Structure 1
Amino acid sequence: MPLSWDDLAGASLARQFPERTAQFPDDTADSPSPERVATLLGAIGPIQAQNARAPFIGLAARIPGVTHAQISAAYTARSIVRGSNLRGTVHTSTPADHALLDAVTHLGQRAPQARTLRLVETDLAAVWAAQEAFAAQDPRTPAQLWEHLRDWISEHDPTASPRLNDAAGRYFGFGHGGLIREPLTGSWSGQTAPGYRSASAVLGTDYTAARTGFRNDPDATADALVRLHLARFGPASRHDVAWFSGLGLTAIDRALARAAGSLHQDIGPDERIYWSLPDAPPPRSVDGVRLLPEFDALLCSIDPRARRRFVAPEHYDILWRQENGMLLAPLMVDGRLTGYWRLVGAGRKRSVEVTYFARTRKPRRAEFDQPLAALAAAMALDIDGLAVARHTGT
């Protein structure tokens, strides 16, 4: 019998919302545990983080009680890292996952960067190595990396004619996957100016060896990426894995073919084949209310045409603002995305406004007690107000 959208949702929720166990016992803000934060992030997978607060909110929604101090300490200790990778986005991940995302980004970005840089006498590997060497000792700003990229190409490949005077060209200064970013001022959860360091220089020999192994073996990279996606976000179709990774369908198909004997296959409600690992956890429901960050994995790990496993198409069109490519922060009720929410105010003292969609269950005010406490702890805020209203727009 084909899987339903509810079947797919239950299976994915078991991966994205693991049951709380002794792996992550309660800690206090005075005793942060970077390793335990990293254990949780390793279990649920990379969090899309071009909005710096997203990992804080996403982790809090999955393990209520984790604190801003704990997550910040994990960043500072390099137990978790943030970098520009995959589809040109930003992700927070464990160092082990970042080594893989780095190599996947090299595969996915090779063609567009080659078209833009127009190299003649050198190659992309040399360009990327030069950028990493420039950022090995000190954090570099995007402007400094952009200038270094232009100067390096001018010196080492003077016959090239790179198109670097636009946003895409600027991104190539830091977006090849080999760098990790940190705030130059302010907190890890703030949208402050970033500095970039070479991941291999910061994370050491074990990281470098893992990354080098992936970079030197494109098939192994694609194979590991497929297994990461199925373990953290599955079940998944070939389109889901390609969307998340930025790799083409051909590379994903070859990886799935190599692994086919060790994977389960089911037909989904859209008649696509959905792949899963044999040791996947049993499906689960997630009752009540969760406040998720923009670009949460419940949406952004899945091909857009298949996101109805978590949200009705008419509601998805509201959450995803097509005119600017931005997402509203989703409200999850009983495992479905049924609205959106936002913080109101400035400074430490805030309130929360929640909007739920028509023809969905109105969440009860008491259901927000734990989510608001989790949000306050993770963002180090004093949340003293809640407004709940039905969406009235078109």
Structure 2
Amino acid sequence: MALGWDDLAAAALARQFPDDPGTVAEQVRAIGAMQTQTARSAFIGLGARFPGVSHAAISEAYDRGEIVRGSTIRGTVHTATPETYTVLAEATRVGQHQRWARMLGITDEQIADLWASVEDHAREWRSPDDLREHARRWLAEHAPASAGVVDDGPARHVALTHGGLVRRPASGDRWEGQGTPVYGTFHPTGPATLADVVALHLRAHGPASRQDVGWWAGLPLRAVEEGIAGLEVVEHEGPGGRAYVDLPHAPPPRDLPGVRLLPEFDALLCGYDSKARDRFVTPEHHRRLWSESNGMLLPPLLVDGRITGHWRAGGTARRRPMEVTWFARTRRPRRAELEQPVAALETALGITVTEVGITRESV
């Protein structure tokens, strides 16, 4: 059966906006890993999907380790349950080992040994500077020619972005804040395979092309094919001549009428190949939302299952105004439609929105 963009969107909405399963951990497990470079994104994303989930409940789930946060696939920060994070760590090992080895000028075996050393060092919570210094000392002993590479540039993150660590706020900070974190060793819940990586993506984002899975997981297409080979899948023809794979017995597609306030790096965008995100946004609007120069995304406005604008409630004050912007030639969100998503945002993020402005933007 051939699928169009609307078919793909409806299938993905059923997975990203399921019935509320109960606890915060169950909610996060249901929708898969959440990209959370911006720490508040986990709070906003859960509030948009499960209105009524509270800031306290999400914070407590982090505190108890029922959900964890750290740098994994593509070197990006994700929030997930420990079981899901275990799968992300496997994707990171396959997708990032050779990249880091090339960057540092060392062998694959040496990068594995370096990361094992970092994990052993982080059995107590460590600051980023402490971990960088540990990596520099390890390289000075085992690969002296590469020791200076970690002093600046992308290689300075080598100790922080391999999936073997989780992060938490430094003492006194809040989980939604952007303060300097500390890092500790992550303990996997069991073995994971490339088939697990592909299955995780399809459960949360499917149907998906091989390019979608590869972009999301930071894997080469040969690794994606290896993962697919370990699964029972169904395959459909889709837009752009790409084949789209899915797990059997997927949930039925759904519509999503009304308005949602999504976080930066939401899965409706970041779950898919950056060159083929048409299921939720037009290429023209995508260019407005995503800055290729720094990789940042504006928080998207979702109207009737399509991303048609963006919003802002900037600053760190507990009371702040909000501005909602919709793109010309799309449906204007009605003020009454914003009451429920704004209330969900307030509850999840622990803020009060003092006023809401609505603005039209020509793109």
TM-score by length of 2: 0.96
Cα separation, 1, equivalents of 2:107 and 2:330: 58
Aligned to 1:28: none
Say whether the 8 Å CA contact 1:330–1:337 is kept in structure 2: yes
Query: In 2 relative to 1, CA 304–328 (structure 1 residues): closer, same or farther, beyond 3 Å?
Result: same
Aligned to 1:29: none
Cα separation, 2, equivalents of 1:263 and 1:120: 35
Aligned to 1:125: 112
Say whether the 8 Å CA contact 1:135–1:197 is kept in structure 2: yes
Structure 1 residue 173, shift from structure 2 partner: 1.4
Aligned to 2:68: 81
1:190 equivalent among 157, 169, 177: 177
1:379 equivalent among 346, 349, 363: 349
> Aligned partner of 1:176: which letter?
H
Aligned to 1:181: 167
Alignment of 1:1-394 (within 5 A): 1-20=1-20, 23-24=21-22, 36-119=23-106, 123-137=110-124, 139-158=125-144, 163-184=149-170, 185-200=172-187, 207=188, 210=190, 213-214=191-192, 221-259=193-231, 262-344=232-314, 346-392=316-362, 394=363
Stretch deviating more after TM superposition (336-345 or 365-374): 336-345
Say whether the 8 Å CA contact 1:351–1:386 is kept in structure 2: yes
Secondary structure, counterpart of 1:387 in structure 2 = strand
Cα separation, 2, equivalents of 1:122 and 1:64: 47
Structure 1 residue 118, shift from structure 2 partner: 2.5
Secondary structure, counterpart of 1:325 in structure 2 = coil
Cα separation, 2, equivalents of 1:275 and 1:70: 35
Gaps of at least 5 residues in structure 1 are 25-35, 201-206, 215-220
Note the alpha carbon deviations across 1:171-222, whole angstroms, 9 max, x for none: 101111100000004100000111000112xxxxxx35x1xx33xxxxxx21
Task: Give the fraction of aligned pairs with identical amino acids, expressed as a percent.
Answer: 49
> Aligned partner of 1:382: which letter?
T
Say whether the 8 Å CA contact 1:118–1:161 is kept in structure 2: no
Secondary structure, counterpart of 1:347 in structure 2 = coil
Secondary structure, counterpart of 2:52 in structure 1 = coil
Secondary structure, counterpart of 1:119 in structure 2 = coil
Cα separation, 1, equivalents of 2:282 and 2:133: 45
Query: In 2 relative to 1, CA 123–366 (structure 1 residues): closer, same or farther, beyond 3 Å?
Result: same
Q: CA RMSD in A?
A: 1.6
